[in-house]
Amino acid sequence: MIHPVQLAELFLEGNDRDAIGHIRTFLKTHSQKDLYDQLLTPAMYHVGELWENNEITVADEHLATAICDFVVTAVENRGQAEVGEARKVMVLGPEGEDHYIGLKMVSSLFRENGWSVKYLGPNMPLSHAVEAATRWQPDVIALSAALVYRLPTIKAYIKEFLALEPAPTVVFGGRAVSKANMAALHEQGAIVIKDLDQLERWLTMGEEPQDEYGISI
C-alpha cells in the first residue's frame, strides 16, 4: 500500500496517472472513507507541513491540491442510487473559507449512504445559502471550516439555519474542530463532528458523538 507521504510526492509532481493507479489498487481492499482517512487527508496534511516550513512553494501546493481534487472526483462513486424519498443534505463552506477538499469528501460519504446531496462548495455567502435552503428544504446542512478564526462566522450561519422553518439539522466539521476548544461555544442546536468516522457512525446508526466534540454549539 502506498504511504501518504509517497502519495503527497506524486501530488506535488503533478503525477495524476500514478496517483490514480495507487488509489484504485487501494480501493480494491478498502472503502472510500478509508481512502479519505488513511491516504488523502494525511497526504494533504503533509503538503500543509511542507508549505508551512517553506519546503515547497505556493505553486507546488496549488498543483498538489489540484491533483487531490481531481482524484477525489475521479474515484467518487456517484452510481449509488438515491432511493425514493432520499434524505437531503446541503454541504457548504461559509463566506471567506476557501478550503473545500474535506467538504467534497463529506458530500461523497453522504452520497454513499443514499442521501441526495447539494454541494454548494466553499465561500458561500450566508444570504444565498439561506435562500437555497428555503427553496430546497434540506434535512441536514453540513458546514466546514479549516481555520479556527472562522468560528464566529460559523456560529452566525448555524443561528440563521436553525431559525428556518422547518429547521434542518446542522452538522459542523473540519480542521477547525480539532484545533478549537468547542466547549467555549455554547449555542444550542448544531452537532459538532470531529472526523469521517464519527460522520459515518452518525449516518449509519444515528449515533451522536460521545466525546468532547459531541456538544452542541
Residues that bind ligand B12 (CB under 6 A): 36-37, 41, 44-45, 47-49, 51-52, 61, 65, 69, 96-103, 105-106, 142, 144, 146-148, 171-175, 193, 195-196, 199
Closest CB 179 distance from ligand B12, rounded Å = 6
Nearer to ligand B12, 58 or 84 (CB): 58
130 touches 98 (CB < 8 A): no
Nearer to ligand B12, 47 or 90 (CB): 47
Nearer to ligand B12, 84 or 206 (CB): 206
Closest CB 33 distance from ligand B12, rounded Å = 9
C-alpha cell, 39: 491516504
The residue written with cell numbers 512553494 in the block is 57
19 touches 67 (CB < 8 A): yes
Closest CB 79 distance from ligand B12, rounded Å = 22
Closest CB 157 distance from ligand B12, rounded Å = 12
C-alpha cell, 79: 452510481
C-alpha cell, 23: 488509489
Closest CA to 76 of 106, 46, 42: 106
Phi, psi of 149 (to 5 degrees): -70, 0
Nearer to ligand B12, 47 or 67 (CB): 47
Closest CB 141 distance from ligand B12, rounded Å = 9
The residue written with cell numbers 442546536 in the block is 189
Nearer to ligand B12, 4 or 22 (CB): 4
121 touches 93 (CB < 8 A): yes
